Amino acid sequence: MTSVDDSPLADGARPEPLTIAQLAERAGVSVATVSKVVNGRADVAVDTREAVEQLIRRYGYRRQKKAAGPAPMLELVFHELAGPYPVEIIKGVQRVAHEHSLAVAVAELGLQAPGRGLTERILARRPLGVIAVFSALTDEQVSQLHARDIPLVLVDPARDSEADCPVVGAGNWSGGLSATRHLLQLGHRRIATITGPPHTIAGRARLDGYRAALDMAGVPRDDSLVRTGDFYTDTGLSHTRDLLRLPDPPTAVFACNDGTALGVYRAAAEAGLRIPDD
Banded model confidence at residue 13, pLDDT cuts 50, 70, 90: low
- Number of structural domains (the chain) is 3
* Residue 134 maps to a domain: yes
Q: What is the pLDDT of residues 157-181, one digit of tens each?
A: 877 766 778 888 878 999 999 999 9
Contacts of 83 (CB under 8 A, 6+ apart): 231, 232, 233, 257, 258, 259
pLDDT at 120 over 90: no
Asked if residue 249 has a cis previous peptide bond (ω within 30° of 0), the answer is no
3-state DSSP call for residue 77? strand
CA pair distance 78, 127, nearest whole angstrom? 16
Specify the pLDDT at position 136: 74
pLDDT at 220 over 90: yes
Residues 260 and 176 in one domain: yes
Q: What is the pLDDT of residues 132-156, one digit of tens each?
A: 998 777 888 888 888 888 899 988 8
Nearest to 120 by CA among 149, 141, 104: 141
Task: Please tell me whether the overall predicted TM-score, pTM, comes out greater than 0.85 for this model.
Answer: no
- Of the two residues 118 and 46, the one the predictor is more confident about is 46
CA pair distance 198, 102, nearest whole angstrom? 36
Residues 180 and 266 in one domain: yes
* Residue 277 maps to a domain: no
CA pair distance 50, 30, nearest whole angstrom? 15
pLDDT above 70: percentage of residues in the chain: 88
Nearest to 139 by CA among 249, 53, 256, 69: 53
Specify the pLDDT at position 20: 83
Specify the pLDDT at position 114: 43
Q: Containing domain of residue 190, as a range?
A: 172-270
Specify the pLDDT at position 55: 86
Domain with residue 102: its CATH number is 3.40.50.2300
Q: What is the pLDDT of residues 231-270, one digit of tens each?
A: 999 999 999 999 999 999 999 999 999 999 999 999 999 9
Residues 132 and 210 in one domain: no
Do residues 133 and 89 make contact, with C-beta atoms less than 8 angstroms apart? yes
Q: Are strands 191-194 and 152-155 parallel, antiparallel or unpaired?
A: unpaired
- Domain-ending residue, one of 168, 200, 222: 168
CA pair distance 229, 14, nearest whole angstrom? 48
Residues 14 and 103 in one domain: no
Residues 7 and 51 in one domain: yes
- Of the two residues 55 and 91, the one the predictor is more confident about is 91
Q: Are strands 71-78 and 252-255 parallel, antiparallel or unpaired?
A: unpaired
Q: Name the range with the highest mean pLDDT among 21-30, 69-78, 111-120, 233-242.
A: 233-242
Phi, psi of 136, deg, nearest 5: -110, 65
- Other C-beta atoms lying within 10 Å of the C-beta of residue 169: 12
Residue 233, Cβ density class (10 Å: 0-12 exposed, 13-18 middle, ≥19 buried): buried
* Residue 10 maps to a domain: yes
Phi, psi of 256, deg, nearest 5: -80, 0
* Residue 278 maps to a domain: no
